[in-house]
Amino acid sequence: MTNEAAVPIKVLIIDDHPMVAEGIQSILESYEDLHVVGNCNAAQDAIDNLDAYDPDVILMDLNMPGMGGLTATEIVLEKRPGTRILVLSMHDSAEYIASALSHGAMGYILKDVPTDEIKEAIDAVMAGQRYLCTGASGSLEPKEDDMREALTGREQTILLQLAQGKSNKEVAIALDISVRTVETHRKNIKRKLGISSTAGLTRYAMEHGVLQGTGVNV
């Protein structure tokens, strides 16, 4: 009977503060079962090289110049649905936590948590469990109903495209995603809004200002 060593969990760090990111990397590299595959200061750089990094878990900062962590989370999960996103933030408000989880993050921890808790969070999300650190749980934990009904930023973007009369294929080309992904988003949008037709989506977009400033007359 052979006793093979476990394959290390591949971790990618995305944070625009080099000192913070390097500190986290140094901490994680002290664990034999973790392997830091990259340390990116910009979300776009990470997404452009996502296949090369091939991460199991991404530690994602929220507020970054250019592409923010919420948008990056949605794009990562569209490209690689099996990736676990663990938000690492200094914000402990319920609004931030709810937004992160509704965009697909599996965990939320604060940047000032003890070293062991970062490792604990990584292990938890790798096991398919949602993880909220002590400072982000309890009364700050969002209600499931609130999270389920809110449109994510990505869904709002796709709603805008659909409301402009674009087909699923045209939306897929515009956003560089697959037609199947657009179809999935479209179904989720209709379900969340309780709308069954494209005309209904357009009407909703008009009434809620989604088309405002686009130059589209409907």
pLDDT at 145 (0 to 100): 44
pLDDT the model gives residue 1: 43
Average pLDDT over residues 63-84: 90
Mean predicted confidence (pLDDT) in 167-176: 90
Mean pLDDT of 120-128: 93
Contact (Cβ atoms closer than 8 angstroms) between residue 189 and residue 158: yes
Q: Structure pTM?
A: 0.66
Give 18-42 pLDDT, tens digit per residue. 888 898 999 999 999 999 999 999 9
Residue whose tokens read 């699923």: 168
Distance CA 183, CA 50 (A): 23
Q: What whole-number distance in Å separates Cα of residue 167 and Cα of residue 65?
A: 31
First to last CA, the chain: 69
- Residue pLDDT, tens place only, 98-107: 888 888 899 9
